[in-house]
Amino acid sequence: MPLEAIDLAKKVAETAADKQASDVVLVDISQVCSFADYFVICSGNTERHIEAIEEAIREMLKKEALARYRREGTASSGWVLLDMGNIIVHIFAPFEREYYQLESLWSQAPVIVKMI
C-alpha cells in the first residue's frame, strides 16, 4: 500500500538524516501554495555528500515503488531538486542554501520536522 504524502515526506527527511544531511527540515506548504504539499530541505557538505544524499533518497523511493519523480540541478551546482508532485526535496550545498533561504521565503508555512 502506498505511503500517504506526509509519511513519505517524513521518510525522505529520515533518509537524508541517515546520510548525515545537515539542517533537515520538513515544511508543510499546502496552505500557502498550490503546486506542492511538502518541502524537504537539507544540506550536504560537499558535492559527493549531496550525491550520496540524493542516491539514498532515490533508493528509498525505488523500494517504496515510487519511481515517478523529476530531477533538476546537479551536485556540482550546489542544488539538487527531486520533484515528486506533492513533495519537493531540495538538497543544497551550504552556500546555496544560505543564498536562496527557502525557509525564510516560506516562513509562513509550518515546520513539521526539524533535525539539526
Query: Could you give the CA distance from residue 116 to residue 102 in angstroms, rounded to a whole number?
Result: 16
Structural domains of the chain in order of their starting residue, each with its CATH number:
5-115 (3.30.460.10)
Query: Which residues partner with 87 through β-bridges?
Result: 38
Distances (CA, A) of 18 to 11, 15, 25, 94: 10, 5, 14, 18
Tens digits of residue pLDDT in 43-100? 999 999 999 999 999 999 999 877 678 999 999 999 999 999 999 999 999 999 999 9
Q: Distances from the Cα of 84 to the Cαs of 26, 46, 90, in angstroms? A: 14, 24, 11
More confident residue, 8 or 116: 8
3-class SS of residue 12: helix
Q: What is the value of pTM for the model shown? A: 0.92
- Alpha-carbon dihedral angle through residues 100, 17, 25, 56, given to the nearest 10 degrees: 60
Cell of 51: 550525491
